[in-house]
Amino acid sequence: MGVDNAGVLLHLYYGRKTDADMSYLIRYTDRGFSGNPYALRTNRGYSLDTLPQEYSGSGVGDYRLPAVQVVSGNGSRSVDLRYAGFRITKGREPLQGLPFVRASEKTETLVVTLRDSAIDLDIQLLYHVYPDEDVIVRSARITNNSSKTVMIEKAASACVDFLYGNYDVIHFHGRHCMERMQERFALPRGITSFGSRRGMSSHHSNPFVILCDRHTTENTGDSYGCMLMYSGNHHEEFEVDQAGSTRLVSGIHPDGFSWMLAPEEAFETPEAILSFSADGLNGLSRHYHDIIRKQIIAPRWQQARRPVLINSWEAAYFDFDAQKILRFANAARDMDIEMLVLDDGWFGKRNDDNSGLGDWTVNEHKLGCTMKELSDRIHDLGLKFGLWFEPEMVNEDSDLFRSHPEWALRDPDREPMLARNQLVLDMSRQDVVDYLFSAMCSILDSTRIEYVKWDFNRSIANFYSHALPASRQGEVAHRFILGTYQLLEKLLSRYPDLMIEGCSGGGGRFDAGMLYYCPQIWCSDDTDPIERLEIQRGTSYGYPVSTMGAHVSASPNHQTGRAVSLHTRGIVAQSGTFGYELNPEKLSDAEKEEIKKQIRDYHRYADLIAHGTYYRLTEPSDTPDYCAWMFVSQDRTEALVNLVMTHVRANGPFPFVKLQGLLPERIYHLQEQSQQFTGASLMYGGYSFQLSPGDYCSVQLHFT
């Protein structure tokens, strides 16, 4: 960054270290229809419209994407920012009410203050630097120093200008049951944007984007990542301007957003996690995996081995009682599964998905016992116990809604939009947060529960709170997320050993904000292992395997009807937190023995999978018939290689990959085949696989 003679904070360069003053890159020229600040009106070569800026204002001559938009007390919409000072401190302060990247021993913070003196507005740009992970975390704090209320209409967390270069953008789109599909294309001239207005980060557009050189591959070339640490409405924008410069702006989605900022009040944006890699997309992924595992996941869970669980959902759906669940638990124990999770249907009047949400009282008539009695009997079998909640939702057919219809998000003069026959609770209200905390504590205090699955099963519409005046309805979507974060914070403060797995119809809220509270997130409701290859691969660009909830489910699969071997289902699910989503009473003795072996193998490789370096070995466009990936230990002496065939061809070529991350001069033993290789031969010469015939066969190789 550099402050020019006009006091504008210019963005000079972002990339490989140069240890040089990069201001020589700035060029000035008179571009038609690019106006000049009044103080420099005789210098037609100086325009905010053509200069790279660290945080762009609005309405004062830069016609590109703004980072901030404010309506001041007199109705003006102009924001003209000038440098006003900086400070550097060791460590960092937490954000108030928002998740944040926890400080490391080497973290330092730079705070740069920009000021609009005409409206007496300060914007502090916060930069938290994590040198070991090669990450810069950015956010902004907007303070109203005037005597009049101002209205914020856009508040980005980060703005980055790239003065030169032709870039591709990679984003991760999707839908329910097919999240985080990678799409890459060359940025066109003009504005390209992604985002979510669904009240959650969404299945449809993850708050993580990558900008890279046109020739960047998995292992070579420059790439830049921007991950918003936020679980609500988000927006990622790119603009390629008239001269070919590229601007990236990331933050809360401005559509429907406004925030009333009274005198002396401040507004803090969510954090944006930035990283650069000169070692391709795999290199960029490693930076994000490291920062999430070391500084975002709660310390309690960073090194803890996660229990292998079985979930009741696809095994029973709503059709269960305590005796059926105990039969599941007995069968699970005999297969060395370590935890049973009781999913939806245990509370209120809840025999289908049309009623009961919000009534968090145990349906003892359905169970045939108390929840404590069920939990105790499961623990007596040697298993841990987990329970499903969907705290932020309510059904019209519930005692809660009948008592407090004003607690649901809904417009006063129209019927609400329903999804899954449910409404959304107004998490911007403190009384709603307090009710949910009390209701959940009544269960957690009386029952031994080690795990909670936290679900969120619809997109939000009707963003209207009956607790806020008309002038503040634009705050509802953001206040909703703040309420959810508050509830999570309160629960984890009270139950520090409780593991919460995030879920939103699968991967609808798979983001760094939720990972601050939830060490793992259910990756997708699609448990088909072949589709999971795509889902887990796309997720891996930004998020480590240790955060991906992945289960072995029944075959044929409940979502697609595809039949896949138990062996392949196990290999795919092992590249995640690992568990089972099936009815154990329907398994043969041979299948039960195979599951016991899968669990032994998972425990054998658990640390390597959770903490090792992850590599994508194949590109779908290059190898459409198979998918391969691997894990390498931190000391590079151990590797686990996985390959799954996705298409069988008669008389086809052998699947072939080049391994990565090994020590070239060392000898690696392949125990399964009593062979040995040099690291160089495996990386430079590669390895060809000979697989058995049949659909979706797979292989797992362990090198030491």
CA 699 to chain centre: 29
Split at pLDDT 50, 70, 90, the class of 692 is: confident
Domains of the chain in start order, with CATH, are: 2-296 (2.70.98.60), 308-611 (3.20.20.70), 617-703 (2.60.40.1180)
Mean pLDDT, to the nearest integer, of 504-527?
Answer: 98
Query: With 90 as the cut, is the pLDDT of residue 246 above it?
Result: yes
Torsion angle, alpha carbons of 456, 461, 462, 463, to 10: 70
Mean pLDDT, to the nearest integer, of 598-619?
Answer: 97
Residue type, 202: S
Mean pLDDT, to the nearest integer, of 56-65?
Answer: 97
Strand-by-strand arrangement of the 667-670 sheet: 613-616, 626-632, 639-645, 698-703, 667-670, 675-678
The whole-number pLDDT of residue 539 equals 98
Query: With 80 as the cut, is the pLDDT of residue 672 above it?
Result: no
Q: What CA–CA distances, in Å, run from 424 to 206, 359, 395, 417, 488?
A: 21, 14, 8, 10, 17
Residue type, 366: K
The whole-number pLDDT of residue 650 equals 87
Mean pLDDT, to the nearest integer, of 119-124?
Answer: 97
Residues labelled as active-site residues: 511, 591
What string of DSSP letters covers 119-178? TTEEEEEEEEEETTTTEEEEEEEEEE-SSS-EEEEEEEEEEEEE-S--EEEEEEEEETTE
Mean pLDDT for the chain overall: 97
Split at pLDDT 50, 70, 90, the class of 553 is: very high
The whole-number pLDDT of residue 404 equals 98
Split at pLDDT 50, 70, 90, the class of 224 is: very high
Torsion angle, alpha carbons of 457, 459, 461, 463, to 10: 90
Query: With 80 as the cut, is the pLDDT of residue 245 above it?
Result: yes
Mean pLDDT, to the nearest integer, of 443-449?
Answer: 98
Half-sphere exposure in the Cβ direction for 203 (13 Å, CA): 21
Split at pLDDT 50, 70, 90, the class of 263 is: very high
The whole-number pLDDT of residue 128 equals 98
**What are the pLDDT digits (tens) for 66-85?**
999 999 999 999 999 999 99
Cis preceding linkage at 556, omega within 30: yes
The whole-number pLDDT of residue 241 equals 97
The whole-number pLDDT of residue 693 equals 85
Q: What CA–CA distances, in Å, run from 478 to 269, 474, 638?
A: 10, 8, 45
The whole-number pLDDT of residue 651 equals 87
Q: Supply φ then ψ for residue 213, to 5 degrees.
A: -60, 155
